[in-house]
């Protein structure tokens, strides 16, 4: 059954069919929330609340866009809102106080043109990059989450964030440069 | 190509979103500019790290949990006890207001019926309002109230 048909039936009262929508989108929705909010234990609670919000908002869906586009806008808005309330920026970034050796290793790693997959997945590197990501403005953090972690295209991100593709390109460009500054100079710039 | 233009294109190059011609121009710039080439390598590495960020699986009962919450919220919305309670509270308020209104009307009527019987002899002793008279605030009788006769006549004439 197509999304449109499902949504019409749910709005008409067949609420149990919403479980099909949840099953279809839950992994992608949870993945966005988990990547954006960081590795916190209550990401699943946030995902539950987001789906409840979507369910409650269904009567407002006008069938003028794809259901998934409309749904992801709610996911993104809710994720940012809840994240702000819960101050989810994982552990406060403290790259300035990181051991000199760690900082030096990170910069060497970032400058190297032949890093192995194992090095990319190294726990300490992951932690420092994730912490730096947590210091970005919400819209920058969200575009990088969607592009680099979740692998959505520029067009998909533009639809999800209700923005133009050109704006998404600019946000990604600025977000990456800011992230580089934080990682290489300890986040003291700007 | 200058460095500003190159910096703008690096991000799109990393995402494979550049045209062949722009890629060619950018690579040529990298041969001439070590800083832009270094920036490209760093941004590419940051993207690579993010793409390998750890993932987490949802618990198997996620869908059931959400559906249970939705159903329980609907029960609260349609909960007759709450609905009836709200109605009853509202009804009680209206009942009290109606009783108060009737009381004022009845007391005014009483005053109309008996106001003319108030003798001049008692004027100085009666309270300054009909309501006080009706309630029998006898202490007023004993008080030395200096009521101007013209004021009293004007007050009585409002009701008669």
| DSSP character string of A46-79 | HHHHHHHHHHHHGGG--SSS-HHHHHHHHHHHHH
Q: Is A147 on the interface with B (CB under 8 A)?
A: yes
- Mean pLDDT score, A97-123: 70
CB A179 within 8 A of CB B46: yes
CA atoms within 13 A on the CB side of B3: 8
Question: What's the pLDDT tens digit per position in A124-137?
Answer: 788 888 888 988 98
State which CATH number among 1.20.58.1910, 1.20.120.420, 1.10.10.10, 3.40.50.150 fits the domain covering A95-185. 1.10.10.10
Asked if B48 and A147 come within 8 Å (Cβ–Cβ), the reply is: no
Q: Domain residues of chain A, as ranges? A: 3-86, 95-185
Instruction: For residue B102, give how far its alpha carbon lies from the nearest alpha carbon of chain A (Å).
Output: 46
Contact B55 A34 (CB under 8 A): yes
- Of the candidates A51, A115, A144, the beta carbon closest to that of B66 is on A51
Q: What pTM value is reported for the model?
A: 0.68
Burial of residue A62 (CB within 10 Å: 0-12, 13-18, 19+) is exposed
> What would the two tokens of residue A176 be?
């990456």
Substitution target in B46, B72, B76, B77 with the highest count of A β-carbons within 10 Å is: B46
Task: Name which of A52, A39, A189 is nearest A129 in CA terms.
Answer: A39
Q: B50 CB near a chain A CB, below 8 Å?
A: yes
Give the integer Cα–Cα distance in Å for B102 and B114: 18
Please report the pLDDT score of residue B131 as a whole number.
41
Give the domain A3-86 fold: Rna Polymerase Sigma Factor; Chain: A (1.10.1740)
**Rounded distance, CA B29 to CA A3, Å?**
48
Selected residues 80-119 of chain A with any CB under 8 Å from a CB in chain B: 109-113, 115, 117
- Is residue A179 scored above 50 in pLDDT? yes
Query: What 3-state DSSP class applies to A133?
Result: helix
Q: How far is A65 from chain B (nearest CA, A)?
A: 25
Residue-range domain boundaries for chain B: 3-51, 97-160
3-state secondary structure of A163: coil
Ramachandran region, residue B127 (left: φ > 0; alpha: ψ -120 to 50; beta: rest): beta
Question: Considering only CA atoms, which of B85, B40, B45, B67 is closest in space to residue A18?
Answer: B67
Whether B65 contacts chain A with CB within 8 A: yes
CA dihedral B110, B112, B113, B118 (to 10 degrees): 100
pLDDT means per 10 residues, chain B with 160 residues, are: 90 93 94 92 91 87 93 55 38 70 81 60 46 40 45 50
Chain B positions in Cβ-Cβ contact with residue A113 (cut-off 8 Å): 41
Would you mind telling me the total number of residues written for chain B in this entry?
Answer: 160
Note the ipTM here. Answer: 0.83
Confidence of residue A40 (pLDDT cuts 50, 70, 90): low
Taking only the tens place, the pLDDT of each residue in A48-97 is 999 999 999 999 898 888 899 999 999 999 998 888 877 645 444 444 55
Contact B15 A154 (CB under 8 A): yes
């Amino acid at each position: 059954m197509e999304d449109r048909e499902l949504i019409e039936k749910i709005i008409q009262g067949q609420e149990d069919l919403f479980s099909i929508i949840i099953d279809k989108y839950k992994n992608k929705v949870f993945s966005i929330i988990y990547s954006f909010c960081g590795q916190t234990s209550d990401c699943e609670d946030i995902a539950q609340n987001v789906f409840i919000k979507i369910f409650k908002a269904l009567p407002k869906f006008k069938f003028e866009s794809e259901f998934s586009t409309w749904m992801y806008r709610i996911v993104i808005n809710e994720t940012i809102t809840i994240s702000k309330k819960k101050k989810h920026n994982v552990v406060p970034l403290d790259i300035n106080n990181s051991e000199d050796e760690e900082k030096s290793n990170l910069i060497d790693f970032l400058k190297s043109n032949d890093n192995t997959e194992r090095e990319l997945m190294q726990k300490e590197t992951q932690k420092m990059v994730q912490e730096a990501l947590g210091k970005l403005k919400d819209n920058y953090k969200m575009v990088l989450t969607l592009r680099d972690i979740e692998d959505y295209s520029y067009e998909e991100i533009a639809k999800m964030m209700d923005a133009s593709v050109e704006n998404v390109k600019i946000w990604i460009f600025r977000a990456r440069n800011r992230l580089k500054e934080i990682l290489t100079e300890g986040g003291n710039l700007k | 190509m200058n460095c500003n233009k190159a910096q703008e294109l690096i991000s799109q190059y990393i995402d494979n979103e550049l045209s062949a011609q722009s890629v060619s121009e950018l690579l040529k710039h990298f041969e001439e500019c070590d800083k832009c080439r270094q920036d490209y390598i760093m941004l590419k590495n940051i993207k690579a790290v993010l793409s390998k960020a750890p993932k987490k699986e949802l618990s198997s009962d996620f869908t059931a949990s959400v559906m249970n919450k939705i159903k329980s919220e609907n029960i609260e919305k349609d909960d007759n006890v709450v609905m009836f309670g709200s109605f009853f509270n509202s009804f009680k308020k209206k009942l009290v207001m109606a009783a108060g209104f009737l009381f004022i009307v009845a007391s005014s009527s009483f005053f109309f019926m008996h106001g003319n019987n108030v003798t001049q002899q008692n004027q100085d002793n009666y309270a300054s309002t009909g309501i006080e008279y009706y309630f029998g605030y006898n202490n007023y009788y004993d008080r030395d109230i200096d009521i101007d006769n013209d004021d009293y006549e004007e007050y009585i004439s409002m009701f008669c």
